[in-house]
A and B are shown apart, each in its own frame.
Chain A
Amino acid sequence: MPDALIARSALRPHVAPPSTPAGDVGATLREVEGLTLASVAALGGREAELAEAVRAAYGLDLPTAPKRIASGAAAFIWAGPGKWLASSTAPNADFTGLPAAVADQSDGRAVLRLSGPRAREILATLTAIDLHPRAFAPGDAAMTHAASIAIHLWQVDEAPTYEFAAFRSYAATLWRWIVHAGATRGLDARLG
């Protein structure tokens, strides 16, 4: 029996180069690997049933505004009316049992994490939305663009730490743009 297939990131150093700051670290950029992701859409007339199932399984109230609600390993990120991106760091997590239209996106999206005192400034050079702490805080989410690439963005903490999901095929371009924006802002970017 031949070896099992090896899972690979969409990022390699020649298309997603590392970046090392000359002085203080202003922010770090890493890929978040090993997430289980799924797009979840409420079926017609079964919205309450889905909300109840999510509450029972994960102890979460599905957000009805652009927010990310997390508990333990699981999180639900609003993705439009009646739609969410479900995320889990748990091994073997599986959202397909939810009473909803569920599509696996674990490989469809690459998720990047940008964190540190200058993360807001770096991200602000790439996206048009207002990232001021009064306008965008931990738990807030947005579907927007960075570097002409559609991203699903949310803020994790006040470091500040941002995470954003993009279609996997765009991951290397997005990485290069963040490295470019971080070049004068002490970005430490490394592939896992």
Chain B
Amino acid sequence: MAQALAEGGQAGRAAAEACGFAGSSFDRPDVEDEAEEAYGRGPWRAPKSKGKAFVDFQNDVTVTDVELSAREGFVSVEHLKRYTTLGMATDQGKTANVVGLALMAEITGRSVPETGVTLARPPYAPVALGALAGAHRGKEFKPTRLPPSHFFAEEQGAVFVETGQWMRAAYFPRPGEKDWLETTIREVNTVRSAVGVYDASTLGKIDVQGADAAAFLDRVYVNAFSSLAVGKARYGLMLREDGVAMDDGTTTRLSDTHFYMTTTTGNAAGVMRHLEFCRQWLWPELDVHFASVTDQWAQFAIAGPRSREVVAALVDGQDVSNEALPYMGAKELTVCGGVKARLFRLSFSGELAYELAVPARYGDAMIRRIVEAGQPFGICPYGAEALAVMRIEKGHAAGPELNGNSSAADLGMGRMMSKKKDFVGRALAAREAFVDPARPCLVGLRPVDRTARLRSGAHLVARGAEAVAANDEGYVTSTAYSPSNGCWIGLAFLARGQERMGEIVRACDPLRDGDLEVEIVSPVFVDPEGARLRA
């Protein structure tokens, strides 16, 4: 030990001097040389035992294993370790090595120091799991992201749901409402009959700029964006290189060389990574630049037949009529007396709707002002539950459908794939299995018994068929109670689904004893012509 400390001190000083620093003197602590007795004198084994005598209790190494190792010539401690696994368990020999090495010393007629010890790896001393976890405990296990309306939602008594790192309002219960479903139904009905407001700020938002921005977007989306007019938004779908759908969202053209892209909440970072990969690695010759502006803008969906009146009361005198701002239009303007804003005529709910974005510092005040302006029309804030119900009613794909297996065609968007340009995923989306007409595609489901509850995860089999894997024809991805239809509805992937409208199949859910007959219908359960959102 004394020698090791002296050598360590010298090496440290030499390293410091080599780096150009003055080596400070190292005062070696006064330690006594270790005596042979430090290791004890045994006995290392019970001499008359005939049973197995374990040395390493973690790795089941016995006395006879050590003896065999010596007979095989593996007398070096490093060979003994590798031949028998002595000391390789999670304790790194803390409970076994002294006995095991002393046995080898005894067998080979050497002292323990002559036999040597194996190199230990950290942790040299036991470490409590708490020390490794640090402050990553309970709610701090991972960071929490709070959207701009969070404090408003807290005051409103919202119930929250974690979506990745985001804390989102799931629903806003009112006194007398008995459960989430009653509250959600009220929120959906308010949006469909009057107006509601939702904090959509958690959607990923990416600022895209550069002379080649439009050309770049043409290559990452299946559909064209170079043809998009300034002041217009377009829905876009991106594929992975292997042809599977990756993410969707709307992208708005703010100028010839400037776009504002939105992504799904869960995939925002993944899309940014994908775009940077495409720019830096696939097409470095394109002049295009990205900045995450997810946190820059507080973006509120104002949705429902009365939404235009609410928006008109907020903007600083600009015309928001259907003629001035038609469906999929966008404007840069000011609201509430000079706050810069972006107003989009977008609809996820299927109703006449807008998304209003203001700098995030104004988000808290903005949602309060929206609610104030909406009071005469019966506005209510709505949460992620109501949002999910309305997107299922409209047949919009979300996480359960963009599940890493589905193609554009599976999602009913095969015709969106441009034939006039190349794009990421185009070649591999043409593989045989992807264009197989028997491939499951998106359909809507409605239980034949209108009072029955449909559940996600159920598998679809033909009416007369046994509910076994061989007869599986698809599965239910999303379900909701639809206030607009007065029954549970669902979205599903079903083999040859497009040809089977009106057919009855069974949704089998053996885990929850579910077995119900469902009718195959269009995935758009509300306003299939889209008249409302263009109103």
Contact = CB atoms under 8 A, between A and B. Distances in A.
Interface of A: 1-2, 4-10, 12, 15, 39, 41, 43-45, 83, 101-109, 147-149, 167-170, 172-174, 176-177, 180-181
B294 interface: yes
A9 B360 CA distance: 9
B339 A39 contact: no
Contact of B359 (A41, A106, A177, A180): A106
Given A44-B211, A172-B144, A177-B140, A107 B337 contact: no
Nearest to A126: B135
Contacts of B147: 169
Given A9-B361, A43-B211, A43-B289, A168 B337 contact: no
Contacts of B120: none
Contacts of A4: 336-339
A15 B210 CA distance: 39
A103 B166 CA distance: 23
Nearest to A176: B140
Interface of B: 135-136, 140, 142-148, 151, 166, 207, 209-212, 287, 289, 291-297, 335-339, 358-366, 369, 372
B360 A108 contact: yes
B143 A148 contact: yes
Given A170-B143, A173-B143, A104 B296 contact: yes
B358 A177 contact: no
A101 B259 CA distance: 11
A12 B151 contact: yes
B143 A107 contact: no
A103 B146 contact: no
Given A9-B361, A41-B289, A180-B135, A107 B295 contact: yes
A6 B358 CA distance: 12
Given A4-B336, A7-B362, A8-B365, A101 B291 contact: yes
11 contacts: A5-B366, A12-B151, A39-B207, A43-B210, A43-B289, A102-B209, A147-B135, A148-B136, A148-B142, A167-B292, A170-B143
B143 A101 contact: no
Closest 3 pairs (CB-CB, A-B) = A44-B287, A108-B296, A101-B209
Contact of B339 (A1, A5, A180): A5
Question: A5, A7, A104, A148: which has the most chain B beta carbons within 10 Å?
Answer: A5
Given A5-B335, A177-B135, A180-B135, 15 more contacts: A5-B337, A5-B358, A6-B362, A6-B365, A7-B365, A10-B146, A39-B291, A41-B209, A41-B291, A43-B211, A107-B359, A107-B360, A167-B292, A168-B360, A169-B295
Nearest to A83: B289
Contact of A107 (B296, B338, B372): B296
A142 B369 CA distance: 39
A5 B372 CA distance: 13
Nearest to A85: B291
A109 B297 CA distance: 11
Nearest to B208: A101
A40 to B, nearest CB: 9
A107 B297 contact: yes
A119 B389 CA distance: 49
Nearest to B269: A150
A177 B137 CA distance: 11
Contacts of A107: 295-297, 359-361
A191 B79 CA distance: 61
A2 B210 CA distance: 39
Contacts of B144: 172-173
A169 B205 CA distance: 13
Contacts of A169: 145-147, 166, 294-295
A34 B146 CA distance: 20
Contacts of B338: 4
A1 B338 CA distance: 12
